[in-house]
Chains A and B, each alone.
Chain A
Amino acid sequence: MSMMAVAEETEMEPVVEKKSPGKALWLLAPGVIWMSLFLVLPMLMMVYVSFWTQTTFTIEPTLTLKSWITFFTSDTYLGALWTTVRIWLIVLVATVLVGYPAALFVGLFVKNKALQTVLLVLCVIPFWTSFLIRVLAWRPMLGKEGAINMILMNLGITDAPIEVLLFSELSVIIGMTQIYCVFMVGPIAFMLGRIDTSIIEAAQDLGAGFWRIFRTIILPLSMPGVVVGAIFVSVMVLGEFATSAALSGRKVNLLGNIIVTQVGSLKWAFAAVAGVVLTILMGAVVAALLRVVDLRKEL
């Protein structure tokens, strides 16, 4: 009886082994179909449309480089590209500077796991209000007669209102940093929370002071969190158009704003060119960030 069972099992085994990879591949099918229909195909379409011929009111499928040449010779478009890159870099640095200490506190100095979760949820609270209300709430705060200027003037720190606070690049940066900071805090706090406290104690025991330990142990071990956070923030900031439209009074034009305007005036080919440029920029940024840390090794 038992001999037969053994024989059966050994015969069954190769069959099972052959079948399993094929079966497992079916699990990918829904994702692959969905993504090719609604992501890959539209993107290829966008690349294709960017070479179409654009006239004032119509667009024809005659291939031409005209839209591309216009984009790269126009000061407006190149300026928007440069503004996008500049604001992205500033917001990225600002979110790290504001987010890292917060994450350090939550992930490393708060020992209670429940309290850790509560504090992380606190970071998400800004998202409980709608985007529009949140952005509009900045106006009475930053405006010429807004709260910050009133306080500064009443305290006698400034004589005249600081006009650069609202409808400027600064207000866009302030608003974006506030909104996207949480995407930086989360991944960093997660990585810091995973550092074994005995590792830090070991470094202490070997004679290192706090800043030494921070530079040689804590920072390197939390880098994957910084990179993941940076990818989140970068992808969102590079694609932004709403915050800049609402807080800059249309003075700051990002690539996203260009695309919205072009689509609004039916300039599909231009919009497609800007879209392709933006996508390539995002791809390059993500690829560069992934080179900083080998995420496969760390996570």
Chain B
Amino acid sequence: MMEETAFGAFLAMGGYAEFVWPAYGVTGLVLLAIWLDGYRRRRAVERALQRLARDGSGQDAQGRDTGRNDA
């Protein structure tokens, strides 16, 4: 019971929950988004390089055309 109250107080942030938690939420979301974007780009180029080394089709794993220089 005591822990629940302490946790409730923690969540309430002294009445400023509606400002403190969104601040941490938006920080986490934006940093996660920038990291995910970088990760996805790296995976995409790694796959394209592998594919080019294999058969030179110039397409990524989903079969989309990825290169403007391909014939």
Tell me if chain B binds chain A.
no
The interface of chain B, by Cβ under 8 A from chain A, is none
The interface of chain A, by Cβ under 8 A from chain B, is none
